[in-house]
Amino acid sequence: MGVKSTNITAVQHRVPKEARWRANRHMGGVLWFTGLSGAGKSTLAFELEHLLFDKGYQAYVLDGDNVRHGLCSDLGFSPHDRSENIRRIGETASLFAEAGFIVLSAFISPYREDRLVARTAAGENFNEIYLSADVSDCEKRDPKGLYQKARRGEIPEFTGISAPYEAPIDPELVIDTGKLEVQESLEILLRYIEQRFAMPE
Amino acid sequence: MGVKSTNITAVQHRVPKEARWRANRHMGGVLWFTGLSGAGKSTLAFELEHLLFDKGYQAYVLDGDNVRHGLCSDLGFSPHDRSENIRRIGETASLFAEAGFIVLSAFISPYREDRLVARTAAGENFNEIYLSADVSDCEKRDPKGLYQKARRGEIPEFTGISAPYEAPIDPELVIDTGKLEVQESLEILLRYIEQRFAMPE
């Protein structure tokens, strides 16, 4: 997307992110969770945030439910608004990563193109984590009763029921949250992060 | 502003900000610099970011020039777009503060109402820092040649020339950057932060 405003110049942040990495003793970047409603995105992100914090990491969850009340409170669920929602979150995640954080973003983000926009914004250290629980698994859990509502036609364009979910083609990590327990998924994620965000020697 | 989307619930971040404060050994919050173009907002913000980083603080600059290329790349300089720009930055600053950071935001933000929106988003620990250099001081410096352009009518609605600047009525701190050297302003800011963001006993 082009930049609409003129008379602006790119300014370097004075503290390079590598200096922040050294101070934090880990690299920054984005873990972009994607998957159906009920696949465990928020659950895993929040559990992981806690675990990482206890281990001394700088980690922060960007979560659809919270961002929707603030940064994206002007957006609804039209195709344009969904894309713009993901675009803004991708840009915010990129700022957090630049500030040295491991960002855990927990959004359905059903469209490949939107996730590619987020990946491009982050620049590097973007990790697409596909939580691959399928509709039948997620519908069995239905923690917020949303699938029931969607089946009754009370939620238009519900991902997996009346709107498409485009599974990642080449994600950095796949976790079958339809089969694994939360604790098992967390262990996989923790090992992944400890390797992926370790400071280069 | 109301929230446009439905079927969402507020989710608590699992790591409370007070725990982050203890780990960082300082509180989080926002320093919202406001003042004319050329008043020293970006200069002071970036110098301060460096100083704070060297002292072990988690600090991060949100800067108009950079945000305009990413989070707000869809916005121009119409009254609506300017307000929406400040609104998004306020919400982003609030997320960073919740994540434990001292956010240094460097935007002209000429309208009281827009700054109030940013203050409300941050919730607490919002500090309006008015850099009070006046038009004649800023025009003498004119580091980017913008005042010259504005005088020639090449930039429409330029704050202080052809668009209003509403000075803060009750800012937390005023620094007369028209009279003080950068180093003097930095010392004032550093003392302010050391007191304001110290952990409560």
CATH for A17-133+165-196 (3.40.50.300, 3.20.20.70, 1.10.10.10, 1.10.150.120): 3.40.50.300
Catalytic residue among A109, A132, A162, A185: A109
Q: Which of B37, B94, B109, B185 is catalytic?
A: B109
Residue B119 near chain A (CB below 8 Å): no
Do the Cβ atoms of A13 and B99 come within 8 Å?
A: no
CB burial readout B103-116, b (16+ within 10 A) else e: bbbbbbbbbeebbe
**Model pLDDT, residue A13:** 54
pLDDT of residue B151: 95
Q: Are A48 and A59 in contact (CB under 8 A)?
A: yes
pLDDT of residue B76: 86
CB-based contact A69:A101 (threshold 8 Å): no
Question: Can you give the pLDDT at residue A5?
Answer: 53
pTM for the whole structure: 0.91
The fold adopted by the segment(s) B35-196 is Rossmann fold (3.40.50)
Note if B109 is an active site residue: yes
Test A46 with B13 for CB contact under 8 angstroms. Answer: yes
Distance (Å, whole) CA A67 – CA A69: 5
State pLDDT tens for residues B160-188: 999 999 999 999 999 999 999 999 999 99
Residues paired with residue B173 on neighbouring β-strands, in sequence order: B129
CA A151 to chain centre: 26
Asked if pLDDT for residue B13 goes beyond 70, the answer is: no
Q: Would the CB atoms of A70 and B8 count as touching at under 8 Å?
A: no
Q: CB–CB of A50/B14 below 8 Å?
A: yes
Using a CB-CB cut-off of 8 Å, the residues of chain A touching B144 are 9
Residues A83-139 have pLDDT tens digits of: 999 999 999 999 999 999 999 999 999 999 999 999 999 988 999 999 999 999 999
User: Looking at residues B99-115, what average pLDDT do you find?
Assistant: 96
Q: What is the per-residue DSSP string for chain B?
A: ------S------SS-HHHHHHHHTS--EEEEEE--TTSSHHHHHHHHHHHHHHTT--EEEEEHHHHHHTTTTT--SSHHHHHHHHHHHHHHHHHHHHTT-EEEEE-----HHHHHHHHHHH-SSEEEEEE---HHHHHHH-TTSHHHHHHTT-SSS-BTTTB-----SS-SEEE-TTTS-HHHHHHHHHHHHHHHTSPP-
Asked if the C-beta of A88 comes within 8 angstroms of chain B's C-beta atoms, the answer is yes
The domain ranges of chain B are 35-196
List all residues 6 or more positions away from B199 whose beta carbon is below 8 Å from its beta carbon: B21, B22, B25, B26, B27
The amino acid at A7: N
Per-residue pLDDT tens over the stretch B57-84: 999 999 876 788 889 988 988 888 989 9
Shortest Cα–Cα distance, A176 to chain B (Å): 24
**Among B72, B43, B195, which Cα is nearest to B131's?**
B43
